[in-house]
Copies of this chain bind each other. A is one copy, B any other.
Amino acid sequence: MKRLLLVTAAVAGLAASLPAAAQFQKPEDAVKYRQSAMYVMANHFGRIGAMVNGRAPYDAAAAAANAEIVATMSKLPFIGFVEGTAGTQKGSAAAKIWTNRSGFDADAKTMQDAVAKLVAASKTNSLDNLKGAFGDVGKACKGCHDEFRNP
């Protein structure tokens, strides 16, 4: 548990230090960056989902490893949501992200908080705990996508 707290503290530190360095050479780079970070996050979240949904055997160590990666990734995409990238080719970010940035940021934090609980649940060696925390992260994903992602 001590290790978990220290890792979480380190990740929080990363996020705090990132905005100052949040630069992209062109809008497309920011779109590709956030989509890449989301894709990696979704992949590792999906590996936990396979266990939760019975498509893969429950493996507590793998669940915990994947949850930690999800936690790291959960901090990253948001530096890619820079102004001017709403209508960028291939992007599906809704323009309202930039007219309601505080709402968007709040949704991001809701997700990150749910992911932190997923990390904790993944260390308890309980599939039931994992299922509950996984569902809460899924709800947080969907809540933000419904509001801030174009179909």
Chain A contacts to B: CB under 8 angstroms: 3, 6-7, 9-10, 13-14, 16-18, 20-21, 23, 29, 32-33, 35-37, 39-40, 43, 47, 50, 56, 59, 61-62, 64-66, 68-69, 72, 76
- Nearest chain B CB to A47's CB is how many angstroms away? 5
Can you offer 19 A-B residue contacts whose CB atoms are under 8 A?
Answer: A3-B10, A6-B6, A7-B7, A14-B65, A14-B69, A17-B61, A17-B64, A18-B62, A18-B66, A20-B62, A21-B59, A21-B62, A21-B66, A23-B50, A23-B56, A36-B36, A36-B37, A36-B39, A36-B40
Contact B72 A13 (CB under 8 A): no
Bound CA span A36–B73, Å: 12
- Nearest chain B CB to A119's CB is how many angstroms away? 11
Q: Kindly report which residue of chain B lies nearest to residue A22, judged by CB atoms.
A: B47
